[in-house]
A = this chain, B = another copy of it.
């Protein structure tokens, strides 16, 4: 799905919902679709604001909510208090692995893990609706650079 497709879908959503396609919404959506990784509202605000100072952080929040409603963005909570947003249209469900050294976020998916989850909790009488799996560790680069606890700890407590 190209940037143009996504923008079109966003405009169509606004139209259908009786909302207006404003200059700000267009610029914020473009900046969002241009990101390759997870962005915070603040981060997106800085990207847009660098070129268009008249756009407020509040509008970024409001537009991100619209993008979610349009099904074009997912909001993720990684427990550090702020929300990160990622594109939703093109990708299937996936989980995340976060490097504790450099903060890089990598996506992965495993049907095996998900099947096992379902199996494990069925015994408890639960029926899964959705899940959130976050792995934390050292990425290849940070391992190679010898950063982090991996270097001196044989068994990490």
Residues of A within 8 A of B (CB): 77, 79, 97, 99-100, 106, 108, 110, 112-113, 116-117, 120-121, 124-140, 143, 148-150, 156
Contact = CB atoms under 8 A, between A and B. Distances in A.
14 contacts: A77-B77, A97-B121, A97-B126, A99-B126, A108-B124, A116-B116, A117-B135, A125-B140, A125-B143, A126-B138, A126-B140, A126-B143, A128-B137, A132-B134
A133 B130 contact: no
Contacts of A112: 116, 120
Nearest to A134: B132
Closest 9 CB pairs of A and B: A125-B140, A77-B79, A128-B137, A129-B137, A132-B134, A131-B135, A110-B120, A133-B133, A127-B137
Contacts of A138: 126-127, 129
B133 A121 contact: no
Contacts of A116: 110, 112-113, 116
Copies in the complex: 2
Contacts of A134: 131-133
Given A131-B134, A133-B131, A140 B124 contact: yes
B135 A79 contact: no
B126 A135 contact: yes
A156 B129 contact: yes
A76 to B, nearest CB: 9
Nearest to A131: B135
Nearest to A144: B125
